[in-house]
Structure 1
């Protein structure tokens, strides 16, 4: 994407791209419906730090909070190697105080706050459609022999949105809608490339029953991924504590797991992969801040997928045997995901350290 092209921001709150940031080396301007409401005057502080002075901020309190958050998102999207954005304000702003309370900013002086990459990318409001809702209350229940936290029922519709600068498209993850998504799911599952590893070929009715089972199961969440509204793949998210994988490792209460497939050939390749894979991991870590690990169990001979997991920061833990396949357990930690900025393509940002963290 051209650096002078307006960048859509806060996709979860402004899905029609009506909130946009204009970034140059001298300023960040944020416009709502083509009217500029925020202007941040910039000067480089160091190679990985940027300083800005808030020169204009208008709108009501909610809009101002959105505008400041949008400017931070734009800064870290425009300059992916940035460690921190230092913001000076000439006067007190309720929006700034609110974002300090939420953890986006750390106040370092009466008129100065700092936003770090870690803080920005762990905010929920830019990407999750449930906004900054508190974590679901912890209450333990029993499912057969397994004691685990009660899981929230997801809202139907879009759960996560993110504008992908290197594609110029908006990526969304949405809960499966049987009427809308069944034909594509059926076609994907009967594609030889997918069927080889999923082994779920079948009729429309068989696949309707399959998806309905996932929707009814409180430990799974079936999602469809879309780029600018066009479906491209299926993502089956699960809570590992209640899953068949739990006996094969020491599952924590909020570990998440994932099965996935890209059904549309037009959306295969590095540029799309770096967008959707980093984003599905981002979604899982944002959905509940108590999730510290994501696990996956690809078939041992799915070499392409295993190589992708490896490049995306997953540690190889061990091989083990399910009744239906010989699998490799791989794991990604929350610490590594955010510290090594795995929400951004690896050829843009260099990891801060080498090695794997389980």
Structure 2
């Protein structure tokens, strides 16, 4: 591990700083010393820590700080899968971390818990800018003859944020505003590279009408992806059950799908795709815990995009014919994503 492991700002604007001094891990939050751990072992995929001291903070703050620290450790060490934490004498704190799913009890050590990357990555408060208090209630509705769950209203403004230590970038997604984002949307869709696949080249009035339509559609959620606050891409997230893709596979009630484009040239390339594509899938899985699959249907001859998606964990069960194109069905399961691909 590096002497200074990570400085990070969470969606709730709290600043977390982790420092390793010899074999001691020190945690500060918003400049205040909070906790200190002894590093007892550090193989490649597992770190073992023993709590030495936790500051005079309330119980809720202690839990929040430890979760933030686990999050920062996993962010700083991409190969790290588990953190084994010895909490001798802190039984109440250990029980609370287990209760919220931040850790599970160790089968071998009664005073130890294990925090797993695959579980921590599902804690919405670490990534969603405006997490819902609970899942939207299930109630079925019918749209154009398709029976599907009633969808929650789309959240406006920023919906997801995370820091990418390896690229020293902050990635965020925000809901598209049909008025303030029109100029950017219009410019991107009139680029030949984009229009070759999206086929939406046209006037500003045409694009204004298009954005008004998708933002009014209850099964759509159009977002801009941003690096350090600068928009780089447009993504149309949709509920698959009431979408045109539904007849072509065994669709689940809460499957999500997405159409993608990167508009800004300087943010193109495999390194950037490897940053935003898993994060986009991450947002869709976190937005509703009942989402079991994320799907997409790129053109079957778009080998580059299909290759990127396969690297991010998508499989390609088949190709099929839409009325307007030959498409590849790309699918990513929730289990595979959090177990293997959610870095």
Q: State the TM-score bracket (shorter-chain normalisation).
A: over 0.9
Give the TM-score of the pair, scaled to structure 1. Answer: 0.89
Is 1:242 matched up with 2:242? yes
Distance 1:303 1:66, change over 3 A: same
Q: 3-state SS of the aligned residue for 2:126?
A: coil
2:12 maps to 1:13:
yes
Stretch moving more, 217-226 or 331-340: 331-340
**1:197-208 equivalent positions in 2, closer than 5 A:** 197-208=197-208
1:65–1:96 Cα contact (<8 Å) kept: no
Change (3 A) 1:8 1:95: farther
Residue 297 of structure 2 is matched in structure 1 by 297
Which secondary structure state, in structure 2, belongs to the residue aligned with residue 43 of structure 1?
A: strand
CA distance, structure 2, for counterparts of residue 201 and residue 57 of structure 1 = 58
Matches of 1:56 and 1:132 in 2, distance apart?
Answer: 33
SS of the aligned residue for 1:177 comes to coil
Q: Structure 1's 98 and 263: CA in aligned 2 closer, same or farther, altered over 3 A?
A: same
Q: Does 1:29 align with 2:26?
A: yes
Task: Determine the structure 1 residue equivalent to 2:82.
Answer: 84
List gaps (5 residues or longer) in structure 2: none
Determine the C-alpha separation between the residues in 2 that align with 1:263 and 1:184: 9
SS across alignment from 2:124: coil
Within-5 A mapping of 1:257-276: 257-276=257-276
Structure 1 residue 24: deviation in Å? Answer: 6.3
Given that residues 119 and 338 in structure 2 are in contact (C-alpha distance below 8 angstroms), is that contact kept between their aligned partners in structure 1?
Answer: no
Instruction: Summarize the Cα distance change of 1:25–1:69 in structure 2 as closer, same or farther, 3 Å threshold.
Output: farther
1:343 Cα deviation (Å)?
2.3
Quote how far apart the aligned CAs of 1:304 are.
1.1
Show structure 1 runs of 5+ residues with no match.
Answer: 345-358
For the residues of structure 1 that align with 2:23 and 2:178, how far apart are their CA atoms? Answer: 49
CA contact (8 A) 1:166 1:271 kept: no
2:45 is matched with which residue? 48
Q: TM-score, with normalisation over the residues of structure 2? A: 0.92
1:64 paired residue number: 62
CA RMSD of aligned residues (A): 2.1
Q: Check conservation: 1:10, 1:125, Cα contact below 8 A.
A: no
Give the superposition deviation at 1:52.
0.7
Distance 1:314 1:90, change over 3 A: same
Give, in angstroms, the shift of residue 63 of structure 1: 2.7
Matches of 1:181 and 1:147, distance apart in 2:
32
Residues 30 and 39, structure 1, Cα contact 8 Å, conserved in 2:
yes
| Count of residues paired in the alignment | 340
**Residues 1-358 of structure 1 mapped to structure 2, 5 A cutoff:** 3-5=2-4, 7-9=6-8, 11-14=10-13, 18-23=15-20, 26-44=23-41, 46-58=43-55, 59-92=57-90, 95-108=93-106, 111-131=111-131, 133-340=133-340, 342-344=341-343
Q: CA 1:10/1:301 → structure 2, altered by over 3 Å: closer, same or farther? A: same
Cα distance in 1 between the residues matched to 2:132 and 2:36: 25
